[in-house]
Amino acid sequence: MLGRLIENYMEAPLDPNNTWDIESLKDRERITNVLAHSELQYVKGGKLVGALGAPSKTLEDFIKDRDFVSIDMEFKRALSNVEVNPREAVSAASNILESVCKVYIAEEDLESPAKQDLKHVWSVVRKHLGFDPSIVEDQDLQQILTGLISITEGIGALRTHASSAHGAGKKIYKLEPRHARLAIHSAHTVVLFVLESWRKKKKDF
């Protein structure tokens, strides 16, 4: 109800050169900050969703900084569907990973794999970034990196088997919001690590 009440105020077109509209923009920022203090976030369409915390805020900053439109769209789709449509949210979580991998491949001018699904584009990106547990000396980091690869492949598999991206087979997955939230949190962690590693790789050269 609160989301609907502030929808027009948060989404009405504003002119940044108009004095009154400048004040409205400041008010929107204040509302956003108040919601964040209560771990809430406004999403376009009159919805309030639980904020995903500091890591996702950092990811959001990355997205805005690099103007990753496709990733931003999936980011918002995932957030807005966690509670109402977990299957759709899982699909968006996988698409977030796919999008960042495809952007990476395009900007680094790498050869695209024949299959454009998450498993194959992720394989190209992680090899180029050196995400290979076998070459990491620290056993703890090796274990985390192995888990990161497993998580990414698991999200892709969950999208195939249980999300809204494909028709259901004989086995029906009873996805709940907590499952979708787990997939989204995991996807955001992987994407943030990719973006930070990418930035470091560019600085090193």
In whole angstroms, what separates CA 9 from the centre of its chain? 26
Give the whole-angstrom CA distance, residue 97 versus residue 161: 17
Which pLDDT score, from 0 to 100, does residue 53 have? 47
Burial class (CB in 10 A: 0-12, 13-18, 19+), 122: buried
Confidence of residue 55 (pLDDT cuts 50, 70, 90): very low
111: pLDDT strictly greater than 80: yes
Give the whole-angstrom CA distance, residue 169 versus residue 166: 9
Which pLDDT score, from 0 to 100, does residue 58 have? 58
**Residue 170 vs residue 190, higher pLDDT:** 190
72-105 pLDDT, tens digit each: 777 778 877 888 888 888 888 888 899 889 989 9
**Residue 205 vs residue 109, higher pLDDT:** 109
Domains detected in the chain: 1-51 (no CATH), 52-204 (1.20.120)
